[in-house]
Amino acid sequence: VTFLVLITLSKTGLAMPEVLPVSSTEARTWAMYTVPLPKEMKITGKVRVSPSQVEVFAPLDADVTLRQAVKELLEIGFSQGNKTSARDKFAITFVLNGPEAQALKSLKNSDQSYEIRSEEAGLKLIGLTSRGLYYASKTLQQLIKARSTASTAEIPLLNVIDWPDMEDRGLWGTDAFIVYPWLADRKMNYIEQISSVGLDKAGKPLAQIKPSHMPLLMNARRYGINFVPVVLHLEQVGPRIFPSYPMLKGQGGAEGAICYSRPEIVDVLADWLVQFGSYPGVSEVDVWMSENLHQKGGCTCPECSKTDRDVLEARAILAGWRKARKTLPNLGLRILTSEETEDGNELVFKELPREVKVWYYHSLLTYDASERPMLRQYLADFAKNGGWLGVCPSICATVHWASPFTCADFVYYRLQEFHKKGVRGLLGYTTPRVLYYRYLVEAAAEWSWNMQGRTPEEFALSWAVRNRLPDPPKFAKWSSTLGKVAWDVYGSHWPSGEQRGTPGPSAKRLKEGTLPELGFVLWDAYNLPWGDIKSEKQLDDDVAAADEALKLAEEMGIPEFYYESQIVRAYIRSLKALWELRKIVHPNGIAPENKKKAAEYFGVYEESLQQVIDTLPKWEVLVPKNDNLTFTDHPIEVMKNMISEMKQVAAEFGINAK
């Protein structure tokens, strides 16, 4: 690698901008503009210069990632430096590998680590790889943009050493393929998207990246992102190949079940993997194991019956990958588990060579906002014994249920568990769109990189500062106050759990006298209606906190947060009303002395859900988005049905709700 060497101005006699002092208070405030917070950072001073007085130097053979790191600094208004540049300018110099970078090798995930070093003539950005330098550039950009104008750049003189706790930090699905620059700004580096697999017109295996995902594929490396195409859950793609491969259709079992004892499935998988791996920039493919066989099982042919179904599926995937590697020797493989494979995961893990990476997914357990541990002990043991383990959790209120959720504590809780159990990758799922939950996703970026940096309260304050809110401390107090109420609500699957057949509609359960005690969770998976609310005191405290948060939102005067407060307050009030009704409504009737109270609480239940119905669209209009689609229609229909069901129950008990 050829380097352009920084020449210190102290030897030239040329004038440098005056170095201005930075107090510890100013340094702490300035650091709030970084996300994630660097592991080690010390700001020792600053300079104020015209952007034209700053030049950026980089290796002459910089790759696309490093060129992007340089480009983003130039967009501030700086100039590209060269060997003939004047030496009286402030220099930002990228140093790729070489002797100065060797100390970084001792750091975790050192290929993404970097150092920023303050020197007399400017700053050096040092990394072992271009991705590490890209992250150095990101940190510096965040700090410079925080305090600069079109005519003046305020540049910190600082020393930073930084590296990520988690190797992979990213999302799959939804519109991540559109907002990837926003994710890259926060040092997220991994995106998966479901790709097209099946047969071509001649009946041969065909694998293609969808046209809408091609811009991400073409630009992923530029932004330091690993884009990985996905082979969808195998039982869902089975029917696509059966027309040309009828021998692969499982005998018995669920629709879509594949016979994994047939060698043809290895050929199909290998062809798909080779086709994906042949796209420029694709180095890995993720194969998703069967998700749900609806308790009907897999193929029951004599050969398949000899071995655990999950193990057979894993062996077929591995055989297809090994065959693909005869064509593409460096192609990597990931597999994603599911609720279908849960009972067989430990056996599956024993089949996997160390270089195969595992994403743990179970729709009932990982797509969940409950305040309880997500990862069972066998997963922690797998990671402890050297297996590469990542997790695929929801990073939103509820999957496919658009509702506001500004709660750093929720993400902090999740990431703490993941770090403690040796998780090396985060594959979040954020629906319906990433920016609906930009606060949660940014928190995930924060703590997947640096778990020991900010507390939830500090993150909230820094987020408000980065977003230039008028009263950051008030926002931090508001988000903490309301966020914990919302976490209790969504962690209890309220009211989204009403969509499921299990445990059934709350109105019906009220009528039948089958509503559980507070804190009850059915089969460790079904929390409806108050699984995360353990006591009446907690419920009452949540009601009071929601009232307080609404007042704070009114004082802030920001409509998005005001509507969020109204929604969460209405949710918890509807739960409070349901709990009070549970005390006085019995299958054989309501005592006469309780009918007035029953009418009151039936009324509060209806009014609260109606408040959500009326307010959700107002909130959604204010959420940043890339299209004009709306996603609150479905939650609204569910809640309208809940109101109708409860009105019917009230009428059957002779109550006219007030």
Domain assignment of residue 441, yes or no: no
Domain assignment of residue 124, yes or no: yes
Domain end call among 107, 142, 162: 162
Contacts of 20 (CB under 8 A, 6+ apart): 45, 46, 47, 48
| Residue 147 sits in the same domain as residue 243 | no
Per-residue pLDDT averaged across 308-332, rounded? 99
| Residue 139 sits in the same domain as residue 227 | no
| Residue 618 sits in the same domain as residue 521 | yes
| Residue 138 sits in the same domain as residue 242 | no
pLDDT digit string, tens, across residues 476-497: 999 999 999 999 999 999 999 9
Q: Give exposure, 256-265, as e/b (b: 16+ Cβ within 10 Å).
A: bbbbbbbebb
pLDDT band at 82 (very low <50, low <70, confident <90, very high): confident
Answer with the residue of higher pLDDT: 152 or 14. Answer: 152
pLDDT band at 5 (very low <50, low <70, confident <90, very high): very low
Q: Is the pLDDT of residue 19 over 90?
A: yes
| Residue 623 sits in the same domain as residue 497 | yes
| Residue 263 sits in the same domain as residue 315 | yes
What CATH number did the domain enclosing 40 receive? 3.30.379.10
- Asked if 226 contacts 279 with a C-beta cutoff of 8 angstroms, the reply is no
Domain end call among 352, 381, 399: 352
From residue 270, how far is each of 231, 261, 276, 327 by CA, in Å?
A: 11, 16, 10, 10
Domain end call among 162, 193, 217: 162
| Residue 55 sits in the same domain as residue 157 | yes
Q: Is the pLDDT of residue 9 over 60?
A: no
Q: Note the pLDDT of residue 86.
A: 60
Per-residue pLDDT averaged across 89-95, rounded? 96
| Residue 139 sits in the same domain as residue 228 | no
Q: Note the pLDDT of residue 84.
A: 66
Q: Is the pLDDT of residue 138 over 50?
A: yes
| Residue 146 sits in the same domain as residue 214 | no
Domain assignment of residue 339, yes or no: yes
Domain assignment of residue 517, yes or no: yes
| Residue 339 sits in the same domain as residue 208 | yes
Domain assignment of residue 184, yes or no: no
| Residue 642 sits in the same domain as residue 493 | yes
Q: Note the pLDDT of residue 626.
A: 85
pLDDT band at 15 (very low <50, low <70, confident <90, very high): low
pLDDT digit string, tens, across residues 452-471: 999 999 999 999 999 999 99
Domain assignment of residue 389, yes or no: no
Owning domain of residue 613: 477-652
pLDDT digit string, tens, across residues 492-524: 999 999 999 999 999 999 999 999 999 999 999
Element housing 97 (H / E): none
| Residue 115 sits in the same domain as residue 258 | no
The letter for the amino acid at 175 is D
On whether the pTM is more than 0.85, the answer is yes
Q: Which tokens belong to 377?
A: 């002990």
- Give the chain's domain count: 3
394 DSSP 8-state letter: B
pLDDT digit string, tens, across residues 594-638: 999 999 999 999 999 999 999 999 999 999 988 889 999 999 999
* β-sheet bridge partners, residue 126: 95, 115
Q: Which tokens belong to 479?
A: 């988000």
pLDDT digit string, tens, across residues 331-348: 999 999 999 999 999 999
Percentage of residues of the chain with pLDDT beyond 70: 97
The letter for the amino acid at 53 is Q
The letter for the amino acid at 148 is S
Domain assignment of residue 252, yes or no: yes
Domain assignment of residue 459, yes or no: no
pLDDT digit string, tens, across residues 549-558: 999 999 999 9
